[in-house]
Chain A
Amino acid sequence: MKKILSKPESLKDAVLSYCPGCGHGVVHRLIAECIDELEIREKTIAVAPVGCAVFAYDYFNFDVTESPHGRPPAVATGIKRTNPDKFVFTYQGDGDIAAIGMAEVIHAANRGENITIIFVNNANYGMTGGQMAPTTLIGQITETTPFGRDPKREGYPIKLCELLSTLEGTTYLERVSIHSPGNIIKSKKAVKKAFQCQIDRKGFSLVEILSNCPVDWGMTPIESIKWIEEKFIKSFPLGIVKDKI
């Protein structure tokens, strides 16, 4: 019998700690497949965030460093500036990048750092039990918005790609989703394009991936997929936000 599908070399043979139905596993696999296909595993240095993906170094089969909460773009700047020939990417959640780490991402983007950011947006703080994130939708119920997010009290969902697109230092920004096989394929294309952007030394690239968090959203995995399709995408439209490649 011929083996036609196997685990990417860039993923370790580990049991993921993510909740049942969570999208992080899919995103990890997409990243691993792209790194394998681009043959950059041995020159990759990744930056893990604080949040659900904090254990990324246990799952990815390449060099990974930890970073304080929100600081991965600064850590990645330090790595890439001193090692321009290495491949450097950060993996960040919505709280990490758009709340506590907003300054770091804006300035790394504005400097046009030749790094890639994989931004997993699941509209809440997953690791800490589902609190409001900067990307939580209007009306969405979370642990800290028990009556639904009210813009008068909690402001509006932040659209990071659109925000960063105004900066001249950014090269490639795209928002994708993993709620269906077709969209997973599109997500992989976006990740690969962003990685290639860095390999070709074209500057700052970021892919925002809308992902599901069934446990903290209080939904079944199938309901959470539907929520992405019916609600999430309406607030966070998919597509290329900026492409200077």
Chain B
Amino acid sequence: MIRKLMKGNIALCEGAITAGLKSYFGYPITPQNEITSYLSRKMVNLKRVFVQAESEIAAANMVLGAAATGSRSMTSSSSPGISLKQEAISYMAGMQVPALIVNVQRGGPGLGNISGSQSDYFQAVKGGGHGDYKIIVLAPNSSQEMYETSYDAFDIAEKYRTPVMILTDGIIGQMMEPVEFNRVEKKYLPEKEWFLNGCKSRNPRSIKSLFMEDGALEKHNIKLQEKYKLISENEVKYELYMTEDAETIIIAYGISSRIAKSAVKLARKQGIKAGLLRPKTLCPFPSKIINSLAKINVKFLSVELSHGQMIEDIKLAVNGTSKVEFLGKAGGGIVTEWEILNKLQN
């Protein structure tokens, strides 16, 4: 199997291409510029579609159009740009158009800065745009997982006819690590019943989120909610590390989970019973496992590059059984393993 040293952002591109990405629409923003730059060469060489759009808004709507025809399409950006894409994401959720949106998070709010951050958790997992919807949010924590997650994202998007977001950060995106190309190239995609390709030998189709007839939108919303329920039953993914006898379980995703794992190792050397639960899917959130790990003598520690967003979902999952504490920094600051260790010692 081929192994190559590459940045997370590039590994993500390779995963998407191997999964049959037919079109990419992007707009420059740091720290995701490797994606637009790499795909501007690669997609053209592969005779696939690359367009540098006039805005994040346009890029997301180009994805909407391409994906409405049943082809695999994606866009990527970083925090301020993702805010602009929320319009199209809400439409795609309502229209049930599967597509991939990548957020290589940077510091916020506003223009913020270009350092890695995890401040867009709320925006990603609570809907983000207008209306009662959710999207699937995946959180890789290495170059290898950037490759595998973008490959798998299209299957899951199409299975449920929903937009999928990869919520990563500037550090995972920029970090170079070896990647094993362990996925097979997808050449043929399954036939779909809903997409637009011209009404040859069939009745015309329309894809829409507008339902004006009495009760129709209510029915549509119920259908969407049933889908989200199914997703939360079937698609939760997480990793457990030394949680069996742990008295403190750190919950962290993305880059924070890498730092947290080092902290757990340091703590164990000192005889502190620490463990790590790493959500690989943030929506659906691994609430059940967190709930089952919650006991009176077990504490949870949410480690995030934010001022405390995921901790709200942890508290809901724990439901008062255990104490939940927080350690985090936002705006470019990075929590170190020593800081986490210090917190564990106390």
Q: Mark A193-217, 1 if CB is under 8 A from B, else 0.
A: 0000000000000000000000000
Within 8 A of B (CB), among A44-72: 44-45, 47-48, 54-55, 57-58, 60-68, 71
Query: Which listed residue (B23, B53, B206) contacts A74, Cβ 8 A?
Result: B53
Asked if B69 and A45 sit within 8 Å, CB to CB, the answer is: yes
A29: shortest Cβ distance to chain B, in Å? 17
Whether a CB of chain A sits under 8 angstroms from the CB of B336 is no
Q: Which residues of B contact A63 (CB under 8 A)?
A: 196-199, 204-206
Q: Which residue of chain B lies nearest to A87 when distances are taken between CB atoms in the complex?
A: B198
Stretch in contact with the other chain, from B2-10, B59-67, B253-261: B59-67
Residues A107 and B58 in contact in the complex (CB < 8 Å), given A47-B65, A66-B210, A82-B73: yes
**A78/B73 in contact, CB under 8 A:** yes
Q: Is the CB of A71 within 8 A of B57?
A: yes
**B319 on interface, CB distance cutoff 8 Å:** no
Q: B42-85: which have CB < 8 Å to A?
A: 49, 51, 53-55, 57-59, 61-69, 71, 73
Q: How far is the CB of B15 from chain A (nearest CB, A)?
A: 20
A86 interface residue (CB < 8 Å to B): yes
A62 touches B198 (CB 8 A): yes
Measured CB to CB, the closest approach of chain B to A99, in angstroms, equals: 14
Q: Quick check: A82 and B23 within 8 Å, CB to CB?
A: yes
Select from chain A the residue with minimum beta-carbon distance to B205. Answer: A63
B25-A78 in contact (CB<8A): yes
* Interface range on chain B (Cβ under 8 Å from partner): 35 or more
Report the minimal beta-carbon distance from A202 to chain B, rounded to whole angstroms.
20
| Distance of A55 Cα from B69 Cα, bound (Å) | 20
Q: Does A183 contact B (CB under 8 A)?
A: no
Residue on A nearest B67 in the bound complex, by CB? A78
Q: Report the separation of the CA atoms of residues A77 and B55 in the bound assembly, to the nearest whole angstrom.
A: 13
Do A103 and B55 form a contact, CB below 8 Å, given A41-B199, A62-B198? Answer: yes
Q: Which one of B59, B69, B91, B210 lies within 8 Å of A82 (CB-CB)?
A: B69
Q: Does A83 contact B (CB under 8 A)?
A: yes
Given A74-B65, A78-B63, are A65 and B199 also a contact pair (CB < 8 Å)?
Answer: no
For the complex with contacts A66-B207, A104-B57, 12 further pairs of A-B residues with Cβ separation under 8 Å are A42-B201, A48-B208, A65-B64, A65-B207, A66-B206, A68-B64, A68-B87, A71-B64, A74-B58, A74-B62, A78-B73, A104-B58
B-side residues, CB < 8 A to A, are 22-23, 25, 49, 51, 53-55, 57-59, 61-69, 71, 73, 87-88, 91, 95, 196-201, 204-210, 212
